Amino acid sequence: MDVFIGGAWPYANGSLHIGHIAALLPGDILARYFRLKGYNVCYVSGSDCHGTPIQIRANKEGVSPEQIANRYHNDFKGCFDKLGFSYDLYNQTNDPYHSSFVQDFFTNLLNSGYIYKKTIEQAYCESCDQFLPDRFVVGKCPNCGFYWDILHLTHQDKYMKLLQQIIKYFNFCIWI
């Protein structure tokens, strides 16, 4: 039997923490188990080298997003090697092979009708000449009046209160 295990791809914008390891360790355990049983296993993961968290870190440090992504990808790879993770491939999303594979994969999904193209409106900053990820948007929603700030504190408080009510109602605890 062939077994494919795809681990999470942590953002390459800061050092690994115990949450990353806790999320990825079960995949490594499964890969080892199935290999011991004689199965053909392919266990892959990598560093997510695109996205807002990387852009924010790059802006703070005054360097390119690629420099941030490469620095932390190398850091991650070193940590996983030291911890003895058994990846068959630990790659990064800005690698040409990965990019080509993903483009082909999504093109096949599109051509098969499983996904579709859609035009959406996005916040755009004319001075920066770029579309803005949600983390860069600050202000009041014109539709519902919700205030969105750069740290999402009001957003987090709103959902933390809801989470606390759920915990009370169902009488169980969630590690956050």
pLDDT digits (tens, 9 = 90+) for 81-101: 999 999 999 999 999 999 999
38 neighbors 1 (Cβ within 8 angstroms): no
72 neighbors 47 (Cβ within 8 angstroms): yes
Instruction: Give the Cα separation of 71 and 63 in Å (integer).
Output: 11
Q: Is 46 exposed, middle or buried (0-12, 13-18, 19+ CB in 10 A)?
A: buried
122 neighbors 131 (Cβ within 8 angstroms): yes
pLDDT of the residue at 62: 94
Higher per-residue pLDDT: 40 or 53? 40
| 3-class DSSP state of 173 | coil
Q: Work out the pLDDT band at 51, boundaries 50, 70, 90.
A: confident
pTM for the model stands at: 0.71
Instruction: Give the Cα separation of 40 and 26 in Å (integer).
Output: 18
